[in-house]
Chains A and B, each alone.
Chain A
Amino acid sequence: MTNDEILSKLQEAFPQVEFQVQTEETKNFTVIVPAERLVDVATYLRDHLKFDYLSNLASVDYPERFEVVYHLYSMKRGGGVLVLKVLLPDREKPEVDSVTPIWPGANYQEREVYDLMGISFNGHPDLRRIMLWDGFPGHPLRKDFENRTYTFKELEPTRPKPPDW
Chain B
Amino acid sequence: MGPQHPSTHGVFRMILTLDGETVVDLKPMFGYLHRGLEKTSEERTYLQAVPFTDRLDYICSMTNNFAYAVAVERLADIEVPPRAEYIRVIMGELTRLINHMLGIGFLFNELGAWYTPVVYAFRERERIMDLFEMASGSRMMCNYIRPGGVAADLPEEFLPHLKKLIPHLKRFVAEIRFYLSENEIFRARSVGVGFLPADMAVANSITGPVLRASGVTYDVRRAEPYSIYDEFEFDIPTQVEGDVYARYAQRLDEMDESLKILSQAVERLPDGEYTSKVPSRLRPPKGESYARIEAPKGELGFYLVSDGSPNPYRWRNRPPSLINLSALREMCLGHKVADVVVIYGSIDVTLADIDR
Contacts and interface: CB of A to CB of B under 8 A. Distances in A.
Contacts of A140: 36, 39
B292 interface: yes
Contacts of B206: 105
Interface stretch (B111-119, B160-168, B266-274, B282-290): B282-290
B22 to A, nearest CB: 21
A109 B218 CA distance: 22
Interface in A74-119: 75, 78, 80-81, 83, 103-109, 116
Interface in B292-326: 292, 299, 301, 303, 305, 313-314, 316, 318, 322-323, 325-326
Interface residues of B, number: 39
Given A53-B202, A56-B301, A105-B326, A71 B290 contact: yes
B188 interface: no
Interface string A59-73: 011000000010101
User: How many residues of A sit at the interface, in one of the four size bands?
Assistant: 35 or more
Contacts of B43: 147
B34 interface: yes
Contacts of A104: 203-205, 326-327
B185 interface: no
B137 interface: no
A25 B286 contact: yes
Given A55-B205, A60-B305, A103-B205, A147 B314 contact: no
Contacts of B203: 52, 103-105
Looking at chain B's contact residues, is the secondary structure mostly helix, strand, loop, or mixed? Answer: mixed
Nearest to A105: B205
Given A25-B286, A75-B218, A108-B326, A58 B202 contact: no
A131 B34 contact: yes
Contacts of A53: 202, 205
Contacts of A56: 290, 292, 301, 303, 316, 318
A69 B34 CA distance: 23
B236 to A, nearest CB: 13
Nearest to A108: B322
A132 interface: yes
A139 B30 CA distance: 17
Contacts of B313: 60
A52 B287 contact: no
Contacts of A73: 223-224
A75 B215 CA distance: 12
Contact of B205 (A27, A54, A145): A54
Across chains A and B, which 6 residue pairs bring their CB atoms closest together, nearest first? A105-B205, A131-B34, A58-B316, A131-B31, A25-B287, A56-B318
Given A73-B224, A81-B224, A145-B39, 17 more contacts: A25-B288, A27-B288, A52-B203, A55-B301, A56-B290, A56-B301, A58-B314, A58-B318, A60-B314, A71-B303, A80-B224, A103-B205, A107-B326, A108-B323, A108-B326, A116-B39, A131-B30
Interface of A: 25-28, 52-56, 58, 60-61, 69, 71, 73, 75, 78, 80-81, 83, 103-109, 116, 129-133, 140-141, 145, 147
